[in-house]
Amino acid sequence: MDQVVTAVMDLVVPPASMVMLAFAWPTLSFLRGVEWVLKTLTKEDMLGKVVVITGASSAIGEQLAYEYARRNANLVLVARREHRLLGIRDNARLLGAGQVLVIAADVVKEDDCRRLVSDTVSYFGQLNHLVNTVSLGHDFNFEEAADTTAFPHLMDINFWGNVYPTYAALPYLRRSHGRVVVNASVESWLPMPRMSLYSAAKAAVVDFYETLRYEVKDDVGVTVATHGWVGGDAGGGKFTLEEGAAEMQMQWKEEREATLSGGQVEAYARALVAGACRGDAYVKRPGWHDVFLVFRVFAPDVLAWTFRLLLSSTTAGGGGPTSTTAAARRPPPAAALPAPPPRPLIEYPAAPAARRPAQLQNKLE
């Protein structure tokens, strides 16, 4: 009986939900518009508030610091390399920021996160917004990675680099009824080729904060921002893994190295800070990417066919950097793969020969 009910629900619920959503969409849009107006009129005044921005030396983190500075907030700029923050600090002060602290810390280390939060509260006495912008992407197919040493490094930055600062700051955010602002990506639910590890880490980040939102309830606000391509160069690069690991060469992209074009990063930062001050749960730029989410839920095959068509046309164009790079770094041929072990890794005992019944034995004789 349960199987019959499940089968009926599978057939009825999806189309019925689409029909209900189509009829309710005008009303929902009107209510969202009214909510937006009310939140805009009662938006949070950041004058004198304390904002911690991790990954402040990145392109997005820098622009977020400038947007908060225009709202006269006190800033705490955090990055691993302190010298990159000094110029951003000076620019933020010119734009109207109150006091600006620069803290060198690695957000993938829990002790550093506790220290930066403790220093912030000791100096200002409060913490109102925690803005997590640390991010490290890549531009290689999963099979093309010559060394898996980079895999945990990417997960550390993109996932734990958000979790550890949040864990350290949460008690103080509860005290001030503050907010956590998360820089996610549309790849969290719209995975793109050559970004498998990045997409997986961003999906984990979004799911973590969606769960945390219900745990903290109204004590702490959570704003999850997703962006598409905001400009940048994913060309060849090099990054160094710490703690004695060897230096690796691979295709990578870090938002700190992004080439800003057309003010897309500035527009994204402006929308993100405005949404956080309004208390929005989500900030999406551009918003039309949500259409792909509907297709992924109700018509995943159509979305898959579309992507395959687009990607195949891009690769077939020839002469571009993507096709050249892919041709230069194809998976190794079968002859180059490691040979299988000469003997099984696990020894299984031989099955004992089954003894025939006595009657059958006599018949055979």
Q: Is 68 a catalytic residue?
A: no
Angle subtended at Cα 210 by Cα 204 and Cα 213, rounded to the nearest 5 degrees: 140
d(CA 239, CA 5): 54
- Kindly report the three-state secondary structure assignment for every residue of 309-357: HHHHHHHHCCCCHHHHHHHHCCCCCHHHCCCCCCCCCCCCCCCCCCCCC
Considering 68, 164, 172, 198, which one is annotated as catalytic? 198
Q: 10 Å Cβ neighbour count for 15? A: 10
d(CA 359, CA 205): 68
* CB-count burial class (<10 Å; 0-12, 13-18, 19+) for 38: exposed
The amino acid at 171: P
Tokens 């606000």 sit on residue: 221
Taking a C-beta distance cutoff of 8 angstroms, is the pair 136, 193 a contact? no
Rg of the chain (C-alpha set): 26
Catalytic residue list: 198
